[in-house]
């Protein structure tokens, strides 16, 4: 007896060109990757034995999108909109992505941050349909079989979380998988990687969130988190299985705890094609904004002094990316490090403290900071004044900590201070853009991590650039997949940062706007992919046996660009 199934067809360049459906009747409507809902034509309904399973009127995609937008507009709040979009995705992938693409600026905050944070917190109570893969201690020994049983086997990108460092709200146990779902929707929206090539994975190693453990509705593994050797063994088993089942797929680590984010990234860098977006994506988009600021200031990056306020995974990742770029621009490693300060709740991070390992890289010698006479001197404002900081970056999650005296101190060091309050959501931002413009008489160069409305200053309206990682990771992923890169190099993220900075319009640069608008996400992602793929070819890390391409030389970049253009999937019906 033949097993009913469907298969996607691919062209010479790895692009999706069609779908072969060996299903008939109602079964077709059950699979969201192939269902058109009411858009199936009369001829298709007859041929596929759908007659009688749908109402008689045929509604084309554009009408379905309009109807869905009308429904979204009537939802009372963003979490209800999130639930509707996810439910729509579960029924009809093309329609869901067509709705999102109709206004990416409106829908990005709904499908991802900040709304996805609420979805993580409410995951167990709002669970409707299984999405992705859940691995936990009771099934991790069978991870290879589980991954092999997944419906879609042509996986090109997986987003993987251990659910511990979710968007500033911490340990969410099994509830972190909406983060993976949201990121993968952005891989599709930005880089055009088709949904059936995307895999969300939750590594449920337990939770130390007692509220979840006490919640009768909680769906996760009801134990405290694995730690130490047990945790390491669990991750090792996952990596081994993933590499065996999906050897050419990219694994994006997402929302691990601060120390685990670095240790997991570094340990498996050569075992699986992988990167950590919280570290490297955050670093790249921040560098992109800083590069744009240098164009606006008409100054060199190597002449700046950087202070990162918030020495977590994102903050240290930003420092890493800045250091890499400073070295690319001619400084040696020590000189580059000496232009970067990281600061946590105890002040500037120094080597005389008992530090988490990931913080040590940018810890400063306290003897070189002569202005710190006593611990009470080690403050943000004193660091800015004494170290002559010109670029201030906030990843602290401390709302309002960039106060007027902080901004005044920055303005005394440089005519155009670069001030980047990146913590999100908006309730945690270090400063409001409106205040930064007012306090500096419009001289500050500002970008934020959360979306803000334009600011009116001196009768001119300024768009506030949002340093959203969505400008980085989709394009990086597409560049890796298209080139057949076998490992992820730091230079990929430098290339991505330059691609984003180069995409910003000259008029925006003149106005001090440091990021492209979100409605250019697709164009930016393609530009990033081409830069990243070219770097992979240049570095000689592409797989000559890659299913999509055969690149070995720099003159293959033109073919790479054609491949990328052809691989882009758009939400239209076959």
Which amino acids are annotated catalytic? 112, 183
Stretch (H or E) spanning 408: helix 404-413
Taking only Cα atoms into account, the Rg of the chain, rounded to an integer number of angstroms, comes to 24
Cβ contacts of 482 within 8 Å, gap of 6 or more: 14, 529, 533, 548, 549, 560, 563, 564, 567
Q: How far apart are CA 382 and CA 386, in angstroms?
A: 6
Contact 36, 64 (CB under 8 A): no
Contact 112, 81 (CB under 8 A): no
Q: How far apart are CA 124 and CA 137, in angstroms?
A: 19
Q: How far apart are CA 422 and CA 431, in angstroms?
A: 9
Phi and psi, residue 466, nearest 5°: -105, 120
Cα of first residue to Cα of last residue in the chain, in angstroms, is 28
Q: At what angle do helices 104-111 and 78-91 cross, to 10 degrees?
A: 90
Q: How far apart are CA 416 and CA 547, in angstroms?
A: 49
For residue 524, CA distances in Å to 80, 439, 468, 571 come to: 30, 32, 12, 18
Q: β-strands 157-161, 198-203: how paired?
A: parallel
Give SS3 for 351: coil
Q: β-strands 347-348, 340-344: how paired?
A: antiparallel
Is omega for the bond preceding 425 within 30 degrees of 0, making it cis? yes
Q: How far apart are CA 509 and CA 500, in angstroms?
A: 12
Q: Which of 399, 529, 518, 401 is nearest to 470 (CA)?
A: 518
Q: How far apart are CA 286 and CA 465, in angstroms?
A: 11
């Amino acid at each position: 007896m033949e097993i009913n199934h469907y298969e996607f067809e691919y062209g010479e360049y790895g692009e999706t060109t069609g779908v072969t459906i060996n299903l008939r009747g109602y079964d077709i409507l059950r699979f969201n990757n192939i269902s058109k809902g009411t858009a199936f034509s009369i001829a298709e309904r007859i041929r596929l034995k759908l007659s009688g399973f749908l109402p008689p009127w045929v509604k084309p995609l554009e009408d379905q999108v309009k109807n869905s937008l009308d429904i979204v507009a009537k939802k009372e709040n963003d979490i209800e909109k999130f639930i509707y979009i996810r439910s729509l995705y579960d029924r009809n992938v093309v329609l869901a992505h067509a709705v999102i693409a109709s206004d990416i600026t409106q829908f990005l905050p709904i499908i991802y941050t900040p709304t996805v944070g609420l979805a993580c917190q409410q995951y167990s109570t709002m669970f409707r349909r299984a999405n992705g893969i859940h691995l936990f201690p009771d099934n991790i020994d069978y991870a290879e079989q589980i991954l092999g049983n997944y419906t879609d086997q042509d996986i090109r990108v997986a987003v993987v979380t251990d659910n511990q460092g979710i968007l500033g709200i911490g340990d969410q146990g099994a509830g972190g998988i909406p983060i993976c779902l949201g990121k993968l929707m952005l891989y599709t929206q930005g880089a055009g990687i088709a949904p059936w090539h995307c895999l969300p994975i939750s590594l449920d190693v337990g939770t130390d969130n007692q509220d979840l453990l006490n919640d009768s509705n909680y769906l996760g593994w009801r134990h405290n988190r694995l730690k130490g050797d047990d945790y390491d063994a669990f991750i090792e088993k996952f990596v081994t299985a993933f590499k065996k089942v999906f050897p050419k797929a990219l694994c994006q680590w997402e929302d691990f705890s601060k120390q685990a984010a670095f240790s997991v990234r570094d340990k498996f860098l050569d075992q699986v094609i992988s990167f950590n977006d919280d570290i490297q994506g955050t670093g790249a988009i921040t560098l992109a904004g800083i590069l744009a600021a240098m164009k606006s200031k008409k100054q060199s990056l190597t002449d700046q002094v950087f202070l990162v306020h918030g020495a977590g995974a994102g903050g240290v990742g930003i420092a890493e990316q800045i250091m890499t770029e400073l070295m690319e621009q001619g400084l040696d490693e020590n000189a580059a490090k000496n232009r970067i300060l990281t600061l946590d709740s105890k002040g500037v991070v120094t080597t005389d403290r008992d530090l988490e390992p990931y913080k040590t890289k940018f810890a400063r010698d306290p003897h070189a900071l002569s202005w710190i006479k006593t611990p009470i001197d080690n403050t943000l404002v004193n660091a800015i004044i004494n170290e002559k900081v010109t670029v201030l970056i906030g990843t602290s999650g401390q709302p309002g900590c960039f106060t007027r005296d902080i901004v005044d101190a920055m303005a005394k060091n440089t005519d155009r201070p670069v001030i980047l309050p990146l913590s999100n959501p908006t309730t945690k931002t270090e400063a409001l853009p409106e205040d930064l413009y007012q306090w500096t008489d419009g001289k500050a160069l500002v970008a934020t991590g959360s979306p803000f409305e334009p600011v009116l200053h001196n009768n001119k309206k300024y768009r506030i650039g949002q340093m959203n990682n969505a400008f980085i990771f989709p394009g990086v992923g597409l560049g890796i997949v298209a080139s057949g890169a076998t490992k992820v190099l730091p230079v990929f993220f430098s290339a991505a940062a330059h691609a984003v900075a180069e995409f910003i319009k000259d008029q925006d640069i003149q106005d001090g706007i440091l990021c492209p608008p979100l409605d250019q996400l697709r164009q930016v992602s393609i530009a990033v992919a081409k830069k990243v793929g070219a770097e992979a070819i240049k570095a000689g890390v592409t797989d000559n046996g890659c299913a999509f391409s055969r690149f070995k030389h720099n003159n293959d970049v033109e073919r790479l660009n054609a491949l990328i253009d052809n691989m882009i999937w758009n939400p239209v019906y076959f």
